[in-house]
Amino acid sequence: MAFCVPVQCPDCHGTNVIKHGKSSNGKQRYRCCNRDCFRVTFSLNLDYPGRDAKTKQKIVEMKLNGNTVREISRVLNISTTTVVKELKKIVKNKM
Ligand SMILES: [Zn+2]
């Protein structure tokens, strides 16, 4: 399996997507290359995926399933630092 940036068009879910400069607030913009898709450009809200509640939930689930920090960071596409930080927060909250 190729290891590339998992960017998908939010409309056609195609991965035939290219970088298209940055928006005024510094977010990466992308352009869908699918000719049948009406969407031209879009940006992703993935600046801080580690802060997303679903990501936190996944971190906990994966940790409980015996995955290592490195595996979690790779699967969820977040840094190991973020994983460790979130796990520490979770441990603190439970004690
Ligand atoms: Zn598209």
Q: How far apart are CA 2 and CA 5, in angstroms?
A: 10
Which is higher by pLDDT, 39 or 34? 34
Q: Which residue has the tokens 């409309």?
A: 11
Return phi, psi of residue 17, to 5°.
Answer: -130, 140
Quote the ligand 1 centre to 16 CA distance (angstroms). 8
Mean pLDDT value across residues 67-94:
88
Cα 91 to chain centroid, rounded: 23
Predicted confidence at residue 62, as pLDDT, reads 95
pLDDT average, residue stretch 65-82: 93
Q: Report pTM.
A: 0.45
What value does the mean pLDDT of the chain take? 81
- Helix axis angle, 69-76 to 53-64, nearest 10°: 140
Q: How far is the CA of 17 from the centre of ligand 1 (A)?
A: 8
Kindly give the distance from the C-alpha atom of residue 22 to the centroid of ligand 1, in angstroms, as a whole number.
Answer: 18
Mean pLDDT of 54-76: 92
Distance CA 83, CA 59 (A): 7
* CA 6 to ligand 1 center in whole angstroms: 14
The Å distance, Cα 69 to ligand 1 centre, comes to 33
